[in-house]
Amino acid sequence: MKQLIALLATLYIACTHAQLPPAWRHSPDIAVLGAADDPRRPLVDEAIDYWNRQLEHVGSSFRLNAARHVTQALPEPALFAFYQRAARVGLHAAAFSVDITALPGDMVIVLTRSHVISLAAPMGGRVWVLIRPSSVPPLSLPNVARNVVAHEIGHALGLGHNDDPRALMCGRPAPCRPEDYVGQEPKLFPLLPVERERLARLYPSSWTPAR
């Protein structure tokens, strides 16, 4: 157990300093891998709606496509082995031990069953978003899972962390933790003005899909 905690802590530090994906040059096809009855599925749809509203608010012409929910999944042992390699060699140099070329999506959101750390990172020409189980803390706490999902998709759009615990994108090195999202009323936390400005720079009103 101590080795597992150390592994996850090392990987979390690596992920918080990982390179953010570049701005999307086309509206990404989003594939969500998880069981048909996974309670995180509707949270992904909610988060996509949230981000499209933010993009509309800043006057951007870019939008996220609706998610395609598929029951195809990565084997959990292969997923955890990826985490182990990432902790040893770094996220940028890690790779899955199974063939992932047939998986759909430019943005692949994996609803894992393993107790791993939620993250978003570019790998192999795609952006991967891994979301830990919502059946155990901290994601099992009220209102947390929806904000973690939206937070990680924010990274997939190119936003980093801030240090405001009242904002959606707060995270390390600030002392923000998922527990800060706890609330009895379902709500998604807001963006900071500087993040709206960054969204407008990444995806301006003149944005058009690359040909």
The DSSP secondary structure of the chain, one letter per residue, reads -HHHHHHHHHHHHHHHTSPPPPPPSSPPPEEEES-TT-TTHHHHHHHHHHHHHHHHHTT----PPPEEEE-----HHHHHHHHHHHHHH-GGG---SS--TT---SEEEEE-SS----EEEEETTEEEEEE--SSSTTTTSTTHHHHHHHHHHHHHTT---BS-TTSTTB-TTSS--GGGG--SS--PPPPPHHHHHHHHHHS-TT-----
CA atoms within 13 A on the CB side of 52: 13
In sequence order, the β-bridge partners of residue 111 are: 131
pLDDT by residue (tens digit) across 34-71?
A: 999 999 999 999 999 999 999 999 999 999 999 999 98
Q: Taking 60 as the threshold, does the pLDDT of residue 13 lie above it? A: no
What are the sequence ranges of the domains in the chain?
Answer: 2-202
CA dist., res. 63 & res. 152, Å (int)? 17
pLDDT by residue (tens digit) across 111-144?
A: 998 888 888 888 888 998 999 999 999 999 999 9
CA dist., res. 157 & res. 23, Å (int)? 6
Mean pLDDT value of segment 166-184: 95
CATH architecture, domain 2-202: 3-Layer(aba) Sandwich (3.40)
Share of the chain above pLDDT 90, in %: 64
Q: Taking 60 as the threshold, does the pLDDT of residue 16 lie above it? A: no
Q: What is the pLDDT of residue 87?
A: 65
Q: What is the pLDDT of residue 74?
A: 77
